[in-house]
Chain A
Amino acid sequence: MSDVRFEAVEKAYGDFVAVRGIDLHIRPGEFLTLLGPSGCGKTTCLRLVAGFIAPTSGRIVMGGRDVTALPPHRRNTGMVFQSYALFPHRTVAENIAFGLEVRRLSRAECRARVADAVKLVRLERLVDSYPAQLSGGQRQRVALARAIVIKPDVLLLDEPLAALDLKLREELQVEIKRIQSEIKITTLFVTHDQGEALSMSDRVAVMRDGAIVQIGAPDELYERPNSRYVANFVGRTNLIPVVVRGRTDRGYRVASRTAPPMDFEVAGPQTATFDVGEACFLGARPEHLHLGTGRANAIEAEVRTLTYLGSVWRVEVETTAGEMFTVLAHPGEALPLSGAIVPIGWRAESCFLLKDT
């Protein structure tokens, strides 16, 4: 188990800067996810660790050793590719054994370790099949087995679930997480799927334009995003433009930038400090809004559409200020009719403030 450290790592292709000065520490045994839209530099970071590309400046340190100048085959990382990159001319067992063969392990040891890896990913019955004969999920497992059988210092996962359908994806999320915690391997996971990121990671780093915008545990990121970008990329957020009126012992008092202004209360720790008079945004997650009164904050809104999602109803409403809000109504709550004016309330603890940037 070793840690990985990015020290002021920058990668430029001519004028285009793919990664701009990242400092990041992935702790031993940690499952860290790089989350962001395509082109944000997350895959570049992964390939920097694997050694397929070298940083323009900065260092990459693995287990205390500077690996920046090491070629890929000397780094001992195990990578699962988005396309799986299974060798089509080798069987499942031969694919998994590849890394052991090039390490000149004895035949007996190869066989033993391949057998272990095959058991870990539950592919015992397919060892002699060729990749072309496998389903997407099975290929994925082979790719995973091939990457971990070499006992890598760090496991690199490049959108490994992107090519699978929803049900399989959820199944393999659990599977990957199980294997990762079973062998306690330091893991760097790259995805654009926030659901995947939140459910699997110890920590998530949200990336944008080659830089890390926010890093933290999934619940921190979700409950207290530090920017409108993170608030909207990780889950959905209803935003109200507000101005800070004053501080309370638990947080802030703010008022909407509308005429007439409406007062709201925000409680709990925030990602930044706000000055009185500062213009900022108040954010609240759809599932934290409730139809009805009796909570610290309330507004009135007109119901536009109701969508049944199975476990909940999604209610789209328009506030008197003309903003569209999304509210999730849980079973048992009384549902309004489309066009009705309803009160919407939320607790001071379940909303947060965002800098106006």
Chain B
Amino acid sequence: MRRLALPGIVFATFIFLAAPVLIVVVASFNSGAVLSFPPTGFTTRWYERINPLFLHAVYVSLVVGLSTAFLSTVFGVPAALALARGRYAGRDLLNSLCLSPLMVPALVTGVALYQFSLAVWDVTGIGLGGTIPGLVLGHMTFGIPFVIRAVIAGHARFDRALEEAARNLGATPLETFWRVTLPVLQPSIVSGAIFAFLMSLDDVPIALFVGGGDATTLPVRIFTTVEFDFGGDIMAVASLIVGASVVLMLLLDRLVGLEQFFGSRH
């Protein structure tokens, strides 16, 4: 009995964890009411009825996600190196400051950005609310700290003798940076960028308050749709997202290793 109890709990947990993901796929092919179980028949009509607004939202999400990942890397990597290597007063404080957005609930950041964009518009006439650049700036609030954290963690394992070896073998400081430092840190940089990308794709609170109109991301489109109408096409969209996630997962597992990817992050 006891030997089976533990695997039993583990197995039940896996079912619990997988259930809402799997059911989405099942429900999306249900010819009856999508929310009822058991399914009454097979249909693909929900997929045919997907609102084109969702397709536009996919586009917005990808543009925002990729821009966020790119800009977060551009700003995050130098900052991480500066925080890991610099020797100056107040370094720990600056480190905490740079990572502090991760401690703030995304909703709070979202309403703060919303409020602030109104204030900026009042003063300067620049309206970032409801635009893609506004969304990207909003997502950089967590994207940059994610990249910084990943690179600092990677840097802690960095053997400074590698740079000395390169210099000893005749590489200039700049060559050493491009040919040794960056390549060695590359896995951390990539994993930080991927994480920023995924979190941008996942975010609702910030995109809900900063975006809107043409700048509505996929999760926000789903969120606002579900609020007043739970149609079958929602399940079809969700099911497609599950499919994309599985592909992404396998890719990520092959590239980085899932355990390492999430292991260093909490």
Contact = CB atoms under 8 A, between A and B. Distances in A.
The answer to whether any beta carbons of A and B sit under 8 Å apart in the complex is: yes
Contact of A89 (B172, B175, B184): B184
Interface stretch (B20-28, B79-87, B156-164): B156-164
Interface string A246-260: 000000000000000
Nearest to B166: A98
19 contacts: A73-B169, A76-B170, A78-B168, A81-B161, A81-B164, A82-B161, A85-B162, A85-B164, A85-B165, A87-B162, A87-B165, A87-B184, A88-B184, A89-B186, A102-B171, A102-B179, A147-B168, A147-B169, A150-B170
B265 interface: no
B159 A71 contact: no
Interface of B: 159, 161-162, 164-172, 175, 179-180, 183-184, 186
A50 interface: yes
A28 interface: no
A2 B168 CA distance: 17
A98 B161 contact: no
A67 to B, nearest CB: 13
A199 B165 CA distance: 27
B168 A103 contact: no
Nearest to A158: B161
A85 B171 CA distance: 15
A77 interface: yes
B169 A150 contact: yes
A98 B169 contact: yes
Given A89-B183, A89-B186, A73 B162 contact: no
Max count, chain A CB within 10 A of own CB: residue among B165, B166, B180: B165
Interface residues of A, number: 28
Given A73-B172, A87-B184, A81 B165 contact: yes
Max count, chain A CB within 10 A of own CB: residue among B159, B167, B171, B175: B167
Interface in A33-74: 50-52, 71-74
A86 B161 CA distance: 9
Contacts of B170: 73-74, 76, 99, 102-103, 150
A73 B171 contact: yes
A50 B166 CA distance: 12
A99 B165 CA distance: 9
Contact of B159 (A85, A89, A102): A85
Nearest to A89: B183
The 7 closest A-B pairs by CB, nearest first: A99-B169, A85-B161, A85-B165, A72-B167, A79-B168, A89-B183, A102-B171
A187 to B, nearest CB: 15
B184 A73 contact: no
Contacts of A79: 164-165, 168
Contacts of A76: 170
A102 B164 contact: no
A79 B169 CA distance: 8
A102 B172 CA distance: 8
A83 B161 CA distance: 8
B113 to A, nearest CB: 39
Contact of A52 (B164, B183, B184): B164
Interface in A75-126: 75-79, 81-83, 85-89, 98-99, 102-103
A73 B164 CA distance: 9
B154 to A, nearest CB: 12
B159 to A, nearest CB: 6
Nearest to A72: B167
A146 interface: yes
Nearest to B171: A102
A3 to B, nearest CB: 19
Interface in A131-175: 146-147, 150, 156
Contacts of A74: 170
Contact of B168 (A50, A82, A83): A50
A114 to B, nearest CB: 13
A42 B79 CA distance: 36
B165 A102 contact: no
